[in-house]
Amino acid sequence: MNNFDNRKFVIGFLFILIGVVFIFRLAYMQLIDDQWKDRAAQISENKIITYPARGIVYDRNRKLLIKNQVFYDLLVIPRKVKEIDSFALSNLLGIDIEDYTERMLDAKAYSTRKASIFEKQISPADYEKIGSELYKFPGFIEQERTLRAYPSHVGAHLLGYMNEVNDKDIDKDSYYKSGDYIGRSGIEKQYEQILRGQRGVKYILQDAIGRYTGSYEDGDYDTTAIPGKNIQLGIDLDLQTYGEKLMKNKRGSIVAIEPSTGEILCMISAPSFDPNLLVGRDLGKNYLKLSKDSLKPLLNRAAISSYPPGSTFKLLMSLIALEEGVITERSSFPCTKSLVGCHNHPTALNISDAIKMSCNPYFYYLVKRIIHQGKSSNPFEDAAIGLDILKNHTASFGIGSNLETDIIGMQKGIVPGRVYYDKWYGKNRWMFSTIYSISIGQGEVLVNPIEMANIAAIMANKGYYYHPHFIKSINNNAIPVIFKTKNHTDIKPKHYEKVVEGMARVVNEPGGTARRARMDSVVVCGKTGTAQNPHGEDHSIFIAFAPQDNPQIAISVYIENAGFGGTWAAPIASLMIEQYLNKTISAKSERKEQRILDANLLYVE
């Protein structure tokens, strides 16, 4: 043959060498190196989160307050986008062409084969026009997603809104994953845990373009989503809507409570806004606009403000004086205008007169008797003891201390005590003459509108209250026991009789301070207040309940910088009461209503 026979070994060796190299390479890839297992799982498996429907929120009459609504995300698969009119699409979506280009690049950077979100949360109204044009833009597809909707367009402050979770939320509760939505305020925040339900997880196999091709391990690791619970609030939607209408062009708040349960019937903060503004793709834009508004519509004035209670505070002072025995129902004090200003009125002959006419000097004398009871020979120490007695009594009305509510961000009121004034003036440096302005609800006393409505409820109940709350039922089940428990004030019920009689006369007798709150059909009991404040015109205040027998609604109305309590707050309260009790406004009240609707009480500094 030839001399090259040995070369068969070289060639054979080469074959074996390559075979051995391949087997070693396979051993390394398949048996030692784990990265390809992870990579394969990353490519072929996916975790699909199934989101449960969020709980629906109803009002006391099972009218819808918050529902779920289908919005649309616009997705893009860059590989399939070919020769489309990008200008037309940007116009359709209302975005800049630069923005379009940038989003397209982002989508391509994520994946050219898989769909990524191009425009989020397009509202059904916007989508009507986009959806019908979508066929012109191959590569763009829609995807439904559920967001919240507020069909009645009211109750922005109490219902709250939702937005995407941030890192802090995720740290706090590992349930949340990036991209989830969370209740940010109001009911949405307070009842987040109940409304959100429990999301489910499905592990799936997917193909190269992310399509479902089968379940992973026959679904052994999957969990099903548990829908959120529906809840019912004590809110009366019609009353809430009517209140917001009345409060147009005014600043302030209305809080109404059902005295027999403590359920909040309405909570209005004005100025307000449409809660639907904080849903969908314009959330950020709208939020910014609202937060820059000089009238600060985002503030929930009903919850976070505390105002001087003005003359409404006289109700509490009367009760405390009676309880302490420093006066009787028949005590009379002269209207000495040199001590503290008052208007012209006949002398108050008893406690009921004093309340009806809201006589300031009367209450100067009355509160002086509470403060200086002669419990110490040192007049300074005596004042301190007396003030603490007063403060403890007010605390039993739920002011400044122990209201347990489900209202997000509620600010407690302040009734100053010994500690407060010792710090301010120094120990033994103050007595009644120093702090007398609290007797007419001015000075350092501050009360929150909800606490104020609760005072009206206590008056209606003659001595007890339930913690004011929104929740009425959860999935038709019971609510926390704290909201079902009666709280008694430390004033004996009998003392309420004369005070409530005075409240009835405030509204219904000539010479009462709130004649504008009078109604033919129902006896309204109320008390006006006019709070001086450093921001301009006095705040107009009115608290009331009705009907006098078997009260069904207790209400507090604050109109900032609107003047005398009887002029604005009282008629608004009466219209609210009429709406709630009669479900309609009588022809006779229409003039009153029109006057309120026409009034623009926005105080401009």
CB-based contact 159:237 (threshold 8 Å): no
DSSP lists the bridge partners of residue 544 as 526, 555
| Contact string (CB under 8 A) for another protein, positions 405-424, x = contact | --------------------
Residue 104 CB, nearest approach to another protein (Å): 16
Phi/psi region, residue 280 (left: phi>0; alpha: psi -120 to 50; beta: rest), is left
The answer to whether residue 40 forms part of the interface with another protein (CB under 8 A) is yes
Q: Which stretch binds another protein (CB under 8 A): 41-49, 128-136, 461-469, 524-532?
A: 41-49
Give whole-number Cα distances, 211 to 199, 202, 205, 378, in Å: 21, 14, 8, 86
The answer to whether residue 37 forms part of the interface with another protein (CB under 8 A) is yes
The answer to whether residue 31 forms part of the interface with another protein (CB under 8 A) is yes
The answer to whether residue 48 forms part of the interface with another protein (CB under 8 A) is no
CB-based contact 525:507 (threshold 8 Å): yes
**Residues whose CB falls within 8 Å of the CB of residue 368, separated by 6 or more in sequence, listed in order:** 432, 436, 439
The dihedral formed by the CA atoms of 379, 383, 386 and 391, expressed in degrees to the nearest 10 = -170
Interface residue with another protein among 4, 82, 344, 591 (CB under 8 A) is: 4
Residue 300 CB, nearest approach to another protein (Å): 48
When the beta carbons of 29 and 201 are compared against another protein, the nearer one is 29
Applying the rule CB under 8 A, the residues between 103 and 122 that interact with another protein are 111-112
Cα–Cα distance, 453 to 541 (Å, whole number)? 11
Q: Which stretch binds another protein (CB under 8 A): 199-207, 304-312, 332-340, 526-534?
A: 199-207
Angle formed at CA 370 by CA 364 and CA 375, multiple of 5 degrees: 135
Which two three-digit tokens encode residue 540?
Answer: 């107009």
Residue 78 CB, nearest approach to another protein (Å): 12
Interface residue with another protein among 173, 207, 217, 490 (CB under 8 A) is: 207
The answer to whether residue 36 forms part of the interface with another protein (CB under 8 A) is yes
The answer to whether residue 41 forms part of the interface with another protein (CB under 8 A) is yes
**Burial of residue 156 (number of CB atoms within 10 Å: 0-12, 13-18, 19+):** buried
Applying the rule CB under 8 A, the residues between 538 and 557 that interact with another protein are none
Q: Which stretch binds another protein (CB under 8 A): 78-86, 132-140, 203-211, 225-233?
A: 203-211
Which amino acid is located at 375 in the chain? K
Residue 23 CB, nearest approach to another protein (Å): 5
When the beta carbons of 96 and 207 are compared against another protein, the nearer one is 207
Cα–Cα distance, 362 to 353 (Å, whole number)? 10
Cα–Cα distance, 109 to 174 (Å, whole number)? 29
The answer to whether residue 344 forms part of the interface with another protein (CB under 8 A) is no
Count interface residues toward another protein (CB under 8 A).
41
CB-based contact 272:154 (threshold 8 Å): yes
Cα–Cα distance, 543 to 552 (Å, whole number)? 14
The answer to whether residue 295 forms part of the interface with another protein (CB under 8 A) is no
Angle formed at CA 314 by CA 511 and CA 385, multiple of 5 degrees: 155
When the beta carbons of 20 and 226 are compared against another protein, the nearer one is 20
DSSP lists the bridge partners of residue 321 as none
Residue 40 CB, nearest approach to another protein (Å): 3
Interface residue with another protein among 75, 205, 414, 522 (CB under 8 A) is: 205
Site of interaction with another protein (CB under 8 A): 1-5, 7-8, 10-12, 15-16, 18-19, 21-23, 25-27, 29-31, 33, 35-37, 39-41, 43-45, 111-112, 205-208, 213-214
